[in-house]
Amino acid sequence: MFDSGEIKYLVLTDRAVPYLLARVRWPDVAQAISADSPDWIDDQGLFDLPYDPSAVTVSFLQAASVMAGWGRRLHADAAQGATSYIRRMPANWSQLSPSEQRTWGIGFVGRRRRHPASRVRRARPLEARVAGLSVAGRTGTRLAAPANGGGDPRAGVRAPAANGHGQLAAGVTSGLRIVVADRRGPERVRLVGRAHIRSERTTVAAGLVDLSERGVRCVLPERASLVRAGATVAGPFLFEAEVSASHICLDVAGQISWHADSAAGTHFGVAFGELADEETEAVQRLLACADRRR
């Protein structure tokens, strides 16, 4: 059994969209909630959830973002007087029974109509997994300080894109209206929203700039310790975009591939490791939605 102490937060996802949020602390806290279940429910079977391969561990801030997307607020303390659910044991979170699906209002799980195969492309595999790669060896580019010492922040700046390939860092300009397509990788699409990036015990809530199947570009008003070239990000990544009512959660590792400071804040790119098929599908749906809005 996992150590007692801090409450652990976990989500279950369908096509990378969180549908159940749980908080667990042995032996006194085992509660879950969903978008269609307005109140926390006690369930002893949740003590098995941290060991289920389908569960994704998230930080408190990421869990709070999921709750906010459902129109609710996450409190640090466990709910008192929550309704108890008596389930069959042991719990099987990868294959929920009809009773369990009804309890949390998640009968839709696994029943959503998939996009035709012709519309969903598989992710292009990375040359290697992100962890352990050398940024300089992969991109052959490096950040250079602006030659004018304080004029246009784009001057003299050449940075790897979020997907790991070098290109002009056009998004560094104030307003972030320009997104340059990388001819060697999937197109990056401009997004407005927030990216909640977790690395060990640190969670950074950054502004979204653009996203592709290979990586993400973000901006922070101030420099964070996480943002340094070559830093490994264990994940998961939680994205909330204005074009979609749903969050997407990518349980994948990443690496900070570049960063640049300007008057608009600290911009940085993260290269993803290889996404699972359902995660790729979720990113593609989000990008397609953003493209239609444009």
Identify whether the C-beta of residue 245 lies closer than 8 Å to the C-beta of residue 175: no
Residue type, 147: A
Looking at residue 93, its pLDDT comes to 85
What is the structure's pLDDT at 185? 59
The CATH number given to 119-293 is: 2.40.10.220
Cβ proximity of 206 and 221 under 8 Å: no
Residue 137 tokens, joined: 């060896």
pLDDT in tens, 164-195: 333 333 333 333 333 444 444 578 899 999 99
All CATH 2.40.10.220 domain ranges in the chain, comma separated? 119-293
Does position 139 have pLDDT exceeding 70, yes or no?
Answer: no
Question: Are the beta carbons of 37 and 31 closer than 8 angstroms?
Answer: no
Task: Give the Cα separation of 62 and 100 in Å (integer).
Answer: 24
Output the pLDDT for position 143: 34
Q: pLDDT (tens digit, 9 = 90+) per residue, 17-41?
A: 999 999 999 999 999 999 998 899 9
Q: What is the mean pLDDT of residues 131-151?
A: 34
Radius of gyration of the chain (CA): 20
pLDDT value of position 146? 32
Gap between the Cα atoms of 283 and 270, Å rounded: 15
Q: Name the residue among 235, 129, 123 with its Cα closest to residue 185.
A: 123
User: What is the per-residue pLDDT across 116-128, written as a single tens digit (0 to 9) for each?
Assistant: 333 334 333 333 3
Question: Residue 286, class by beta-carbon neighbours within 10 Å (0-12 exposed, 13-18 middle, 19+ buried)?
Answer: buried
Q: Does the pLDDT at position 112 exceed 60?
A: no
